[in-house]
Chains A and B, each alone.
Chain A
């Protein structure tokens, strides 16, 4: 029985570890400035936890096999523990866990506490059941007022996000269903929701933030690779949660300007 249990525990441990190490399924390739940091911290955590995982599980398997009661077993060790070992163990775990935590902190801080770069491109993201809308403030650099009372989701576009067309700065506001971003430029994101909580999740950009009705959340990040990246809603928002999907197109600055100009032209 001890042998069977050891084999099972070892097998589970090694098979599980294999798929992690082989990276059969892994984080999608990162395409933002923070990705390298986040992935580095992830890998470090993964290696440390992996060592503990292997040591604990293989040790557990070994112990249950080795100390199975047999006619030849020596008498049990009558012991109520070892305080010195407890203290060493506690200390090591505390250093490992808290140290790991502190190492990751600067990345978190820089994304949230530092202001975005001066040349950041401003985009407002609005979540609603079950679509994402993106608003660019246009040449005047100012978002016009929005009002949930003016919303008409069935009309799409500006009407869907409740753009107040009486506001003079609404003239050049562009609202789209797809997000375009210039590569290697910071994005000053302003995130909101008009109905329930949604979450703006772009795995490849290592970006996730809830969109909460009543709050306007500012975040910034920098896409670093040209490409198309999928947005998946990550907070349960109702029956269409699974299809609240969108696309981020990261393009060259040139293409971005062309695209935005075309949207402005359409609007006029």
Chain B
């Protein structure tokens, strides 16, 4: 195991720009990623609000936005999906909290490549600006959905927004891929090379494991999406035909020949499915960390948790075809993809079992991070159990591209991952900003958000079973779907309330940043290394001292120990373990 070497050390910067803008400090970069994701999540959430309003009141004239047309509805859903998946669910857990916490948790002074780290943040930032620009160009944002299936996404005349807007969309994704590749490389190197003395792999906190595995997934997945995106750009602008066969759009022949629309789907989902785990794995890590800390009990089955995450990462690359059962792909391969998809449910079930086992016979403290971790478990179960329906090709015949799918992935990779982010925010906020967040408002925020998300997303399963197809801007054209409008109306009201409640979180966040009570070094009585240093940590994380690790990450309730927790750097040994 390598100890941090002086090569990585860099003096604390003095000027404002080097300290807060083009900073090399992983802590500042983590906070930058966090605020980028916070901005993006509000944009994405606002888009979903407009969508929900349009579905119920299609002729409503809204302030600033005006009346939303069907094609604009499709632009909203495309941008909502893309911004949420890339700039929120990938950015906040990994770029934000991973960046801030991982080096400290392994006892390192910084990431392995600080300049690369800065570069990956600013590249992500450029990607965000480019995608937002798509709203403001002629024709507006693309309407081809976040999955961007060609030929719709490859032919400029296929619809409004498929001109410059679509080029910006795919360019932004390509930029994001490059940024993520740089980030992934940095995370992997840091985890492998910069662990403090005594921090063996099997003593790493589960959060570190989750960021590490996420980085490996990112390294393998984003390269494929980048290539796929470049081919799409070529098809769009250079007359190539990777994805487009001979087609005729509205009576006009397109100049393409011989391409395969399914090629994009294979490449996209080869990235797209691991991406689901990129979004959710860090949430699993945080949930494990928080459940153990606030149950005052060691994590149940630490090794099983590690192996389960590795298995999820491994199988995650072999199941992409389950998005394509209805695509015209060989029905033979559906069998293989289906069985492998069911296999991935097994490690997911192990994790759930172990989370319940962790709380069992513990001393549960209901601080806000814990509430969100419990909420994560509940949402993970609810979102996960619709998986075995969709993983069966015969059932997918009925459910594919219906609201059942929308409900499934929103619960598990959307809201569960967001609950992971909330748990992480409430948990590490004191370390990051030196103050505590308000508990009362945190709890109110939690209860409204949990009830609200279920009210929005559970009915989607009912709609999907009844045959409600997704990505419909209106439900008035198909008779059986008009009967489902009351349920859609209910969901819109639930969404308005839940979205309103998110302002409680933002106000709490900014108010606490300046006015919250001062936080101690270890307010949660936790054991991992970030709680051994000062709040907030100094520039090199440990004030010139290199920590030495003597214990596993979740030593709570150790018999014979003076307190109910043993810090990882506590040199004393206790009889019990």
Contacts and interface: CB of A to CB of B under 8 A. Distances in A.
Contacts, number: 327
B295 A67 contact: yes
Contacts of A75: 557
A104 B361 contact: no
Contacts of B385: 49, 52-53
A113 B471 contact: no
Contacts of B469: 201, 232-234
Contact of A69 (B346, B363, B397): B363
Interface in B426-483: 443, 447, 450-451, 454, 458-459, 461-463, 465-467, 469, 471-475, 477-481
Contacts of B155: 195-196
A151 B247 CA distance: 10
Interface of A: 1-2, 4-5, 8-9, 12, 16, 19-20, 24-28, 37-38, 41-42, 45-46, 49, 52-53, 56-57, 59-60, 63-64, 67-69, 73, 75-83, 85-86, 89-90, 93-94, 97-98, 100-102, 104-105, 107-109, 112-113, 129, 148-149, 151-154, 162, 194-197, 199, 201, 203, 206-210, 212-215, 217, 230, 232-243, 245
Given A8-B447, A195-B151, A197-B152, A242 B477 contact: yes
A113 B462 contact: no
A85 B378 CA distance: 21
19 contacts: A12-B378, A12-B458, A16-B382, A25-B462, A41-B395, A42-B398, A45-B392, A78-B298, A81-B303, A90-B350, A97-B343, A101-B388, A105-B393, A108-B393, A149-B248, A151-B251, A208-B400, A210-B327, A235-B149
A116 to B, nearest CB: 14
A79 B300 contact: yes
A97 B342 contact: yes
Interface residues on B, range: 35 or more
A133 to B, nearest CB: 13
B361 A67 contact: yes
B319 to A, nearest CB: 12
Interface of B: 69-71, 74, 143-145, 149-152, 155, 158-160, 244-251, 253, 258-262, 295-304, 326-328, 331, 334-335, 338-339, 342-343, 345-346, 349-350, 352-354, 356-357, 359-366, 371, 374, 377-378, 381-382, 385-386, 388-389, 391-395, 397-398, 400-402, 443, 447, 450-451, 454, 458-459, 461-463, 465-467, 469, 471-475, 477-481, 484, 487, 556-559, 564, 576
A131 to B, nearest CB: 11
Contacts of A104: 392-395
A197 B365 contact: no
A110 B354 CA distance: 40
